[in-house]
Amino acid sequence: MCLAVAGELVSSNHHPDPLWRVGDVSFAGVLRQVSLACVPTAQIGDQLLVHVGVALKVMEPER
């Protein structure tokens, strides 16, 4: 259960308090609401590594 899965951030509620900042992440087309509390720099279109509903890493674009 420590596996994290990558998906694309497609929207954010832009909440001013990171504790309540969430966005929709698309996992191969399936949308899931995810906490953005631990990825303050995340932008729409970023690939995020997500574990149990919390984004833990903004992935570097593939070169």
Partner 1 sequence: MSECVALLEQIRGCCSQRWTVMEVCGGQTHALLRHGLDRLLEDSIELIHGPGCPVCVTDSERIDQAIALVKKPEVTLCSYGDMLRVPGSDGSNLLGCRSEGADVRVIYSPLDVLEIARRETDRQVVFLAVGFETTAPATGLLVQQAHQQRLTNLRLLMAHVRVAPALDQLLGDPACTVQGLLAAGHVCAVMGEAEYVDLAAQHRRPIVMTGFSPEALLRGILCCIKQLEEGRHDLRNAYEAVVDQGGNRDARRLIETVFEPVDRVWRGLGVIGKGGYRLRDPYTALAVEPEELDGQPYGNGQCPSGQVLRGLMRPGECPSFGDACTPAHPLGAPMVSSEGACAAYFRFHH
Residue choice 7, 39, 46, 48 for contact with partner 1 (CB under 8 A): 39
Least Cβ distance, residue 44 to partner 1 (angstroms): 19
Q: Which is nearer to partner 1, 9 or 39 (CB)?
A: 39
Least Cβ distance, residue 6 to partner 1 (angstroms): 9
Among 4, 9, 3, which Cα is nearest to 40's? 9
Q: Which residues contact 63 (CB under 8 A, 6 or more apart)?
A: none
Q: Which is nearer to partner 1, 2 or 45 (CB)?
A: 2
Tell me how long the chain is.
63
